Amino acid sequence: MNSSTTVADARPKTGEETAYRRANLAALPGGAFLEGRWERAEMILEVRDPEDGVLLGNVCTSTPQDVRRAVAYIHRHLQDGEWALRDRREALERAAVLLAEQSVRFAEIIAAESSKTINEAEREVGRCIETLRLSAAASSELTGETIAFDDSKAGANKIGWYNRKPVGIIAAITPFNDPLNLVAHKLGPALIGGNGVVLKPSGRTPLTGLAFIQLLLEAGVPAGRLAAIVSGPGVSEAIVTDPQVDLISFTGGPKTADRIAAAAGAKKILSELGGNNATIVCPDAEPAKAAEAIVAGAFGVAGQNCLSVQRVYVHISLFDEVLERVIRGTGSLRVGPKLDRDTDVGPLISEAEARRVEEWVDEAKAAGATVHVGGQRRNAFYEPTVLTDVPADCRVIREEVFGPVVSILPFIQVADAIHAANDSEYGLQAGVFTESLELALAIADKLQVGAVVINETSDVRIDSMPFGGFKKSGVGREGVKHAVREMSEPKSTIIKLAEPSTGWQQLTTAERNAS
């Protein structure tokens, strides 16, 4: 079956619409935040709407010297400034309230500078409110326990305990695809843990991160705990190599993560590095439910989502029906302007990224793949695309597409589907559709991923869950309380008790001398 979906009219905005967006963004803060103040010099880095190239604003280009100033300022504040746990909790609670009050403004900033439709941007703001609330509640994670010293010979006559202390200064390096909530997933746990943070938001979507820094300051986070630097020659290297930066939390790609690790040296690094996520549809699954979830999971945010459904393995008995339903659902999606509430899929983050996706699909077609729907590009827009007959060595199968492309592949034995799903350098998440609890648990046990979602696709993240993956999908875990543990360290206090026998001997000797 062949079908097609067309890109809706992605015309340039009218003068009135453009003026509205610029007015809405005019109140954004300066182009960098360091040493407790907003910097507005050298605001030459342009931020443009990926949909039509309209200039939204400018932010600062910074220097390695700016990084050193920012880190040194936070370091001094950490040494000299007290910020009690209850004050941290209250600041994050206030931030959640402020964000709820400013939700319309933040959604419009996200939709303007990123790939997200206004509906997707609003959902991200809602999730960020929840992330801030979870971060405040995670104050309860900063506890410890007594240590059973008397269980070892070396611990005789000793008592003690440990509690959790901040690691120090955290470098938070965030991507474009979730410019608000992924920032909150780093800053919320870092701040409740008592750390200072240097934020480096994506240069493609910096306005959201800078607005979030401003909101945190309004909520009562001390200026000495925060810095935000977007871009500039040598800035990234300066951040990760600064000796006073104690932990790097990075979300991005494996190649960049390798460079960070090589440059940073002996530092704690938390990394979420993407996925090539599989969904398995077993022979007893409900085809309609599976197909609906596949379409939703493959094409949200134009596929620019680390949890996006990329490979779907369908039992041969259901293959034709599931494929038919996925094609139909994909063909009904509306691709168009982000601010139109009828739009399902907006542009990619840049025309260059859309061209890359186009190249990968063309490569698969040349190798024998069939395009059932989509497969066309217009500027930064790429139509949601469904492929079959894709050879296993094509990039749309082997690598993370990070675009609106899904491949549907048949299997006969469940063991073959498990093997194919695991045959990837990534291991972030996976989905399984089956009516059998026993089969679901058996498959989940064999999949080499950080989370298996039963009767849903991989595209599920609950902000309180431990989030991360196996293999090249990352190191460590996010998910608020889990990140708090990663961003703090246990500190032990040990007390040596007096020897009772020694004290008795001293007493009897004194008594004997007195006599």
* 165's tokens: 């202390």
* CA nearest neighbour of 278 among 496, 430, 163, 419: 430
Strand, helix or coil for residue 264: helix
Q: What are the E-state strand segments in 120-240?
A: 145-146, 158-166, 169-173, 196-200, 226-228
**Which of 39, 51, 272, 353 is flagged as catalytic?**
272
* CA nearest neighbour of 425 among 352, 474, 373: 474
Under 8 Å between Cβ of 164 and 142: yes
CA distance 211 to 117: 19
* CA nearest neighbour of 414 among 318, 284, 315: 315
CA distance 268 to 174: 17
CA distance 173 to 171: 6
| Annotation marks residue 306 as catalytic | yes
* CA nearest neighbour of 483 among 198, 261, 190, 275: 190
CA distance 168 to 79: 10
Under 8 Å between Cβ of 433 and 452: no
* CA nearest neighbour of 359 among 396, 391, 388: 396
**Which of 60, 282, 306, 394 is flagged as catalytic?**
306
Strand, helix or coil for residue 429: strand
Burial of 285 (0-12, 13-18, 19+ CB in 10 A): buried
* CA nearest neighbour of 198 among 160, 162, 168: 168
DSSP per residue over 394-417, as a string? SHHHHS---SSEEEEEEESSHHHH
Sign of CA dihedral 334, 335, 336, 339: positive
Residue that has been written with the tokens 């695991």 in this structure: 422
CA distance 117 to 345: 7
Element (H, E) at 431: strand 429-433
Under 8 Å between Cβ of 141 and 485: yes
* CA nearest neighbour of 357 among 338, 345, 374: 374
Catalytic residues: 272, 306
